Every structure is written in structure tokens, then in C-alpha cells.
Structure 1
Amino acid sequence: MRRQLEAFDSYPDAAQPPDVVTEERNIPGPHGPVPVRIYFPAATALRGRPGFVWMHGGAFRFGDLDMKEADWTARELVHKAGAVVMSVDYRLAVEGVNYPVPLDDVVAAIQWVRENSADLGISSISIGGASAGANLAAGAALRLRDADNWKCEHLVLAYPSMHVDLPDPSKSLELALAEMLPAMRLTPGMFRSMRENYLGALSSNPPSYAMPGLADLRGLPPTLVLNAEYDDLRASGEAFSAALAGAGLDVEQVLVRGMLHGFLNLSTSFEPVDDALERIADRLRALDHTS
């Protein structure tokens, strides 16, 4: 399946991501070491950079540090925002692994960045993710809010999966989905399978850290939600954005036109992808204190 996905997302003539400095590390976690890849900008300033912890998607079952959604996104944000980006290779829900193990890995990674921010040269920490990674980013933000009374600077959620069951689609989403081939849809059965695989024995009574759409959202940071126009999961992103607004929080919801789920696996040669990354970079650039 991984080979098929790579072939589908391959555009040989598309622009390649920037070449930046990277460092592979294994950081301590409650279930053993957590592999991460840290991306650094050119060393024109050693302090005051914005920090960004990023989690790839893949239905909790797939994905790694080399997938474009992980590697290309990190490289582009280093280039566009001058940020230090850490991509987290959290444990996948395979071979008996279930919640809370992937979330534990993500929380451990964020805590490590907090403890080592001076060595990383960063003065702020934002967190984000795509699809299942967005779920983990929001779950980590909620858990750290409750356990440590800590709040990151910004939360970035790209085509997020936040609910036990997909909320009813808006009228505009219904019209968009009607234009799509069945093979391009995320069916209720696929969504249910993803949820049950991740939650395991807790699938009938999931905790709010596992499904942030169930949570009390008060106290979360300013949040950017990037929804793909042609994506069943857009219903989850729209409902979560509405819940954030209902809790009185600062939320910006962006409909990325013409895009399917997983568009961050595409090159910035596609204008909507480049625009989405610029929106993330804008938030990080505002936190740059190198000058």
C-alpha cells in the first residue's frame, strides 16, 4: 500500500523541497525511545527561533519520517519560517499497539522539546499535525494543558480526524463529495475501522484525549484548521472549528480549494499546497525573535 500511495503522489516534474540541515535522534519515552528528525535553518541566528513539533498522518497505522507529509512539510516550514521543526515518528497502531501509546510518544516528544529549548535555539513551541497526526497534536495539547498547565503558542490541524463518528456534512461538503469517485472517498466503514484499531478495547467509550471532539476545549491556544475541500474528514474539521469558536477560542478555519485529503503529500508546485504552508509559516514567523 505504501508503494501504491507513493506512486499516486509522485509528480516527477514538481519542485523538490528545500535542502536543510537535519539531525536524527532517539528521545526517551514511556514505551521506549521515540525516533525524531529535527530540521534546522541556516545558522545565521542561534537563538530566538520559533519551534514547531509536527506529526504526520496515516490513519494511526501508516506513515514515517520519510513520507512527504512529514519530510516535505518540515523542510518547507524551515525554509519559509526559519523555524526549527521536529517531526515525530510515533509508534503506529499495529501489532497490538493501541491508544494511548502513540499519544504518549507525542507528549514525550513535546516535553523533550520544552526541556531542551535552549539547546535547540528556540524561544517558542507550536505543535501541529495532519489527519491522525492532527488528532495526536490536539490530544497532546489537551493532556499537557491538564497535566502541566502548559499551552503551546499555536496549534495547527491539517484535515483533522477528531470525532468518534464523522459529523453530518454541511450542504457545501455534500455537494463536493457528490462530485467524487467512490475510490476517493473515506467511507464510514473505513473511518470506523481506523477508530477501532486505534482505540482497541476503548473504542466503545473513548477518552477525550483520544478523540478531542469530545473534550472541553477551553484553554487551548490559537488554532489554525486547514480543511481540504474534497474530503469526508472536512466534516470533522468544521465541527471541531465550531466547537473551538463556541468555547471562545481564537480559531481560523481555512477551506483549501480543489484539494483532497492528504494534500500536504503534494509539492508546493500546487498553489493551494503552497498557500496552506504559507499560512502555517505566517504563524511561526510571528514568533521569530532572532532580530
Structure 2
Amino acid sequence: MWKKLLTVTVVLNVIVSLMIAWFMEEWSHTAQGKLPSKTAVILHAVNNNLVTVDADIEPPGFLLSASKKSEERELIREDTTIPLDSDYTLPVRIYHYADLEHAPVILYFHGGAFLEGYGSIDTHDNIVRALAEKTEAVVVSPGYRVAPDHVFPTAVNDSYQSLKWVYENAEKWGGNPEKIAVAGDSAGGNLAAVTALKSRDLHGPEIIAQLLYYPLTTFKDVKLESRTAYDSGYYLLSRQVMLKARNAYTPKEDMWNNPYTSPLEADTLDGLPPAMIMTAQYDPLRDEGELYAEKLHEAGVPVQAVRYNGVMHGFVSFFEVMKSGEMALNESELFLDKAAADEIVYDDEFSLTVQKVPAGMQRVREEAEAFAIAAFLVGKRTLTTLIP
């Protein structure tokens, strides 16, 4: 009897495994080519509302690739406010260790298309926390005001005021006001770049580095391959959302040429801090981010441009389960450490580094994690179907 039961169990397991593998293969095929399994599984989950973009998608614990730099020291989180000239206060979140002295400071602007409901200090909390853990810096994330209630230049002004506030208050948390870096993703990457520009123009606090994850760099209608190829929304950013953001945040066309909305259109980028710009292969913002890197280099600014293949817009937010996201954070740590030590030098030749899809044992691990997540998703959808 037990032999028959064992045989049935094995057969069922094989059937289920083949079914999951078939689903993964189906999810991997797109009009733009075949996606890596991990990317395909996560995109399927988000696009079919099986999870939200900011949800914790985790395979079994023994498969998790993310690691923390230190679990012995307690990372402190503080939520406070930044007073503005208009008697309005911005919410701000700060991560730091208790024993810091003269530590670098990272001012991080969250993404979210400049629109209410698309991003906040809460949706990007994992990135901010991870940067604090990895770099041992004081990381400050302000909740700047967004459209449609607040159009340009409100978010820019909030961001610059946040920079000045950080400069004046960094020492309270063990930070060094002379070693402030700006960082951000997507719309936040735009604000980080713009804050560096504005601080240069107004002779504001010195910024030692700018870390830009897949930044939006121009609101103008420019013909770029990535904007056309990956604008469907399947890769987590659609043309529809980009147009909605532009109409809400920059309702007047003359705003699109302003360097404080479109840093790619700035007359000069001379004198800006060293930059690291990371882009994603399957991202409508890929080309403009890389063009901005080239323009920075032409202006004499040290810049590291890195494209991650096999991933989509927002991939760093999934660093707990995507090896590429974890690698991007590790590269960010190295860049920021060098910037704080004033060790970044200008290279006469501009180059775009392409990080390939994980291979070898890393690829095996990614496939195993993708299978585990896919099994969870298939099981969740099955239960949802059986139990409405």
C-alpha cells in the first residue's frame, strides 16, 4: 500500500513541477524576447495583481540571496519633519546607527512618477534601509510634495530645502555635513540630479556624489528606442503613466525645457559631483539615463554608467529576491565609499558597463528561487479560484 502511495506522490510531484515549469516558460516569452525566469515570474506576479510592487516577495528562507552587512548593531529609524519657509512641514525618515561619528550622509528621493499614490517614503523604505546598512551612512528620505496638488517646482524646492536641512542637522545623527550624497530612483533619480544642479547654481551645500537609479532625465518628446520598445507598462512603467505624470507635474509645455525638470536639456553640466547612473535593459527610461551619463562625461564630470541586463524598471526595489538588485546595491556601496574618500577620478573615455544576467551557480540559484516563487503564485491563484 505504501509503495502505491509513494508512487502516486512522486507522480503528482512530477506533474506539478512540470506544470510550474510550463507556466514559467510561458511567462518568459514577450514581444521583446525571452526574459530571465526570475524577471518573468516577478513581472507576472505584479501585472496580474498577485502581489503589489512594494510587497515582500520571498522564496523559502534557505533560498534568499539577500544578506545584511551586520545584524549585531541596531539600525535606528527616526520619523520626523522638515520645516519649510511656507510653514509647511515635510515628513522625513532617517536611518542611522547609534555610534556614528562624521559618517557620510545620503539624501534619498523616492520614486513614484511625481504623482500621489505612486510612491512614498514607505514604499521605498527597503532601499533606504539597505543603503544605511551597507554604507553605514546616515540615510535621509524626505516625503516631498507631489502632483496633482503640487506642480513643478514644488517637488524641486522641497528637495533643495531638504538638502539644506540635512546640511544643517546632519551632525545630530553622527553625519558629516561636508560629505552629503544625493540619490534616488526614477522620479527620485530626477530630483537627485536636479538637486545637484540647483545646489551648484545657488552655491548651496557641496554634494560629493549623485547616485541615480533609472532616472527620468527629460520631459520632452524625444525619439528613444527604449521609450518605444518598453512603454506598454508590462515592465512596470508605461507611456500612459509617463504622460499622466507630465500633464500633472509639468502642465505647461515650457516647463519641459527647464533644466530643473529635464536635466538632460541643461545648457551646461560643468561642476557637478561624480555620478553613478544605473539603468535597466527593459525600461523606457533606459536610453535617457545613459544619454545623461554621456552628457555628464562630456562636461568633465566623473561618471560610472551601468546597464543591468535582464531586468525591468524598478529592479533595485526587488533586491531581496533579485540578484541584480543586490548587485546594484553592492556597486552603489563601493561608489559611495570612494566618493566619501574622494577617490573618484575622471576617465577620458566614456564607457557603459553592461552587467549580464547572472550565470553559473548564481543562475542555478536564480532559477531555483524563480521556481519557488512561481510555485507560490500558482498555488495562490489556485486557492483564489477555488475559494472566491
2:261 is matched by which residue type in structure 1? Answer: A
Q: CA-to-partner distance for each residue in 1:50-80, whole Å, 9 max, x for gaps?
A: 100001111100211110xx21111111111
Structure label with greater radius of gyration: 2
Could you list the structure 1 runs, at least 4 aligned residues long, displaced by more than 4 angstroms after superposition: 3-6, 14-19, 185-189, 202-205
For residue 101 of structure 1, the aligned residue among 143, 147, 154 is: 154
Q: CA-to-partner distance for each residue in 1:196-217, whole Å, 9 max, x for gaps?
A: 2111235565421121111121
Q: CA-to-partner distance for each residue in 1:221-273, whole Å, 9 max, x for gaps?
A: 00000101110110110111111111121010001121100112213331100
Q: Does 1:7 align with 2:52?
A: yes
Q: Tell me how far apart the structure 2 counterparts of residues 285 and 253 of structure 1 sit (CA, whole Å).
A: 17
Query: TM-score, length-normalised on structure 1?
Result: 0.86
Whether contact under 8 Å (1:167, 1:235) holds in the other structure is no
Gaps of 5+ in 2: 1-45, 69-73, 342-388
Q: CA-to-partner distance for each residue in 1:23-57, whole Å, 9 max, x for gaps?
A: 0111112341011000012x34x312110000111
Figure out how many residues of one structure are paired with residues of the other and give that number. 279
Q: Does 1:49 align with 2:73?
A: no
Q: Does 1:218 align with 2:273?
A: no
Structure with greater helix percent: 2
How much does 1:275 deviate?
Answer: 0.7
Whether contact under 8 Å (1:30, 1:104) holds in the other structure is no
Q: Tell me how far apart the structure 1 counterparts of residues 102 and 113 of structure 2 sit (CA, whole Å).
A: 34
SS in 2 for 1:116: helix
Give the aligned partner of residue 134 of structure 1. 189
For residue 184 of structure 1, the aligned residue among 232, 235, 242 is: 235
Q: Tell me how far apart the structure 1 counterparts of residues 67 and 152 of structure 2 sit (CA, whole Å).
A: 33
Give the aligned partner of residue 209 of structure 1. 260
2:280 is matched by which residue type in structure 1? Answer: A
For residue 306 of structure 2, the aligned residue among 225, 235, 254 is: 254
2:80 is matched by which residue type in structure 1? Answer: R
Whether contact under 8 Å (2:219, 2:261) holds in the other structure is no
Whether contact under 8 Å (1:185, 1:232) holds in the other structure is no
SS in 2 for 1:54: strand
Instruction: State the Cα RMSD in Å.
Output: 2.8
Q: Does 1:66 align with 2:122?
A: yes
Whether contact under 8 Å (2:78, 2:94) holds in the other structure is yes
Q: Tell me how far apart the structure 2 counterparts of residues 21 and 229 of structure 1 sit (CA, whole Å).
A: 35
Instruction: Label 1:53 to 1:226 Cα distance change in 2 as closer, same or farther (>3 A).
Output: same
Q: Does 1:276 align with 2:322?
A: no
Give the aligned partner of residue 168 of structure 2. 115
SS in 2 for 1:184: coil
Give the aligned partner of residue 96 of structure 2. 40
Q: CA-to-partner distance for each residue in 1:82-113, whole Å, 9 max, x for gaps?
A: 11100111111123x10011111111111001
Whether contact under 8 Å (1:196, 1:203) holds in the other structure is no
Q: % of aligned pairs identical?
A: 30
Alignment of structure 1 residues 22-33 onto 2, 5 Å:
22-31=77-86, 32-33=88-89
Gaps of 5+ in 1: none
For residue 198 of structure 1, the aligned residue among 249, 254, 264 is: 249
For residue 142 of structure 2, the aligned residue among 73, 88, 105 is: 88
1:282 is matched by which residue type in structure 2? Answer: L
Instruction: Label 1:166 to 1:231 Cα distance change in 2 as closer, same or farther (>3 A).
Output: farther
